[in-house]
Amino acid sequence: MTSAPSAYVFALAGKADADNIIPVIWEVSRDGTPCHVVVADASVYESLRRAWWLAERPSVRVTACFTHDGPPTISERLQRVRWNRLSTRRFLRRTNACLVCVQWREGVAHDDAGLARRLIRWWSTGYFTQLQLAARELSIPVVALPHGHSTKTTIIRSEHVKSRSDTNKGKLPFADRDSFAAYVFCSDYHRDAILANSDMDGSNVRVWGSPRFNDAWVAQLYAHAPTVSLPALPAGAMRRALLFVPKWQNLVDRSATMKLIAALGADPRIQLVVRGHLRAEAAALTADERRTLEQGNVVMITDDVSSPSLINACDVVVDVDSSIAFDAVLLGKPYVRPRYLQDASVETVWDRLGGAHQPMSLEETVKLLTGASLAPAARDASFDRVVFGGPGNEVLARYRDELRAIAKS
């Protein structure tokens, strides 16, 4: 009897994971390599089943597994029983898995608890931990892939980072991530920032470029982005600006940001489209802030409209902190980063290599966005290599070849 071909298993916890790891799945399955995608988020599962690229990749199978490693609800507990260690091991054997890929997360080298605790974990651990443990018991390598990219060249000393570091001798407690066969970063500068501020030893760290932010994937993504219907430009408006609500925890001045949004929304020369962040809880708005946004030429967008659809429909991107600004650079659209909205201690690639207009006041930002002309900011010749890892086809091929080598090893 002929055995099934060796397969890769990819586990996705949410929208950010899917956005950044799907390009890898798209590339490695190009030659027919079987890929099993296990999804823990219901909305991601439904969108994946309708994805344009899935029809082009018949070797890709999508499975729903609505369990994660967070605090369990009753439904979550039942799902954990269903996806216990034994069933997870059977899944890996049945699919003939030779490699497991998860998003950046805590690592687990082995289950070294006492017998009673181990039995409980067999039946009640969240799936992503369960998957890592089952893979290691079967000697299947586990790789942690980036579920995002960073614009920052240093670690932001936010309250969250401080709280985690202060209990670990000033270092982020990332030593468990040394257990992965490879822990992959998009860039050298992000790798260096994490290693300098954590207790990872770095022996398994790799830098392969950004699978999400590169010219090859962005061209595919934007060509297939659904058209979004936005209100027509008001009379006298010269351009449509797309503003992403920042993550407040990243040392962003919330009051100054809302004042800027109010000023732009009241200016008849532009139409302001406002979109929340994928990690909505980090960029949540109060009721009063939402009322501020409902005035003037402001168009509020819900999370069910994709960022590529919005960027396609707008003339300029305004953002403080998100990596979505890289899309604007790759598409040749102007990107405006109001520098004064973020603490001066935050250092970014925009400061080092250009690529962004960085006004230093509300007045300067409004003047820039309402000027007669607005072209993309100049960027250093090394920008694409440093930030994206090189040309897209080269980056995606690097992921394919490196994962293949790890699977074979």
Output the domain CATH number for residue 287: 3.40.50.12580
Let me know if residue 55 belongs to a domain: yes
pLDDT of residue 138: 95
Question: Model-level pTM?
Answer: 0.89
Let me know if residue 160 belongs to a domain: yes
Question: Do 147 and 89 share a structural domain?
Answer: yes
Is residue 302 over pLDDT 80? no
Q: How many CB atoms lie within 10 A of CB 20?
A: 24
pLDDT digits (tens, 9 = 90+) for 206-259: 999 999 999 999 999 999 999 998 999 988 889 999 999 998 888 999 999 999
- Region 328-344: mean pLDDT is 96
The pLDDT mean for the chain works out to 88
pLDDT of residue 119: 65
pLDDT of residue 281: 55
Question: Do 142 and 33 share a structural domain?
Answer: yes
List phi, psi (to 5°) of 97. -65, 135
pLDDT of residue 165: 86
Question: Do 94 and 22 share a structural domain?
Answer: yes
State the helix-helix crossing angle for 392-408 and 15-28, rounded to 10 degrees.
Answer: 80
pLDDT of residue 43: 81
Question: Do 239 and 204 share a structural domain?
Answer: no
Question: Do 363 and 351 share a structural domain?
Answer: yes
Question: Do 14 and 139 share a structural domain?
Answer: yes
Q: Which residues contact 299 (CB under 8 A, 6 or more apart)?
A: 230, 231, 271, 272, 273, 274
Let me know if residue 219 belongs to a domain: no
Do β-strands 205-207 and 270-275 pair in parallel, antiparallel, or remain unpaired?
unpaired
pLDDT band at 70 (very low <50, low <70, confident <90, very high): low
Question: Do 396 and 350 share a structural domain?
Answer: no
316-318 β-sheet, strand order: 298-301, 270-275, 239-244, 316-318, 335-336
205-207 β-sheet, strand order: 60-64, 35-39, 7-12, 97-103, 142-145, 182-185, 205-207
Burial 241-269 (b: 16+ CB within 10 A, else e): bbbbbbbbbbbbbeeebbebbbbbbebee
List phi, psi (to 5°) of 13. -95, -30
pLDDT digits (tens, 9 = 90+) for 88-141: 999 999 999 999 999 988 888 655 666 666 666 665 677 788 899 999 999 999
Give whichever of 66-75, 152-161, 283-292, 349-358 has the largest mean pLDDT: 349-358
33-42, 107-116, 127-136, 345-354: range with lowest mean pLDDT: 107-116
pLDDT of residue 2: 44
Let me know if residue 222 belongs to a domain: no
Let me know if residue 319 belongs to a domain: yes
Is residue 285 over pLDDT 80? no
pLDDT of residue 97: 96
pLDDT of residue 188: 96
pLDDT of residue 180: 95
Answer yes or no: are the C-beta atoms of 159 and 249 closer than 8 Å: yes
| d(C-alpha 12, C-alpha 47), whole Å | 13
Is residue 44 over pLDDT 90? no
Report the candidate in 300, 282, 289, 291 with the shortest Cα–Cα distance to residue 257: 289
Number of domains in the chain: 2
Let me know if residue 288 belongs to a domain: yes
Rounded percentage of the chain residues whose pLDDT exceeds 70 = 89
List phi, psi (to 5°) of 34. -65, 135
Segments forming the whole domain that contains residue 176: 7-214+389-408
| d(C-alpha 209, C-alpha 388), whole Å | 5
Rg of the chain over all Cα atoms, to the nearest angstrom? 22
86-95, 205-214, 289-298, 361-370: range with lowest mean pLDDT: 289-298
pLDDT of residue 409: 81
Question: Do 197 and 161 share a structural domain?
Answer: yes
Question: Do 313 and 197 share a structural domain?
Answer: no
Q: What is the CATH number of the domain that holds 69?
A: 3.40.50.2000
Question: Do 299 and 182 share a structural domain?
Answer: no
Let me know if residue 283 belongs to a domain: yes
Question: Do 209 and 247 share a structural domain?
Answer: no
Question: Do 167 and 94 share a structural domain?
Answer: yes
pLDDT digits (tens, 9 = 90+) for 311-324: 999 999 999 989 99
**Long-range contacts of the stretch 391-395 (C-beta < 8 A, 24+):** 391/214, 391/215, 391/216, 392/214, 392/215, 392/216, 392/217, 392/218, 392/219, 393/216, 394/209, 395/208, 395/209, 395/210, 395/211, 395/214, 395/216
pLDDT of residue 1: 38
Let me know if residue 220 belongs to a domain: no
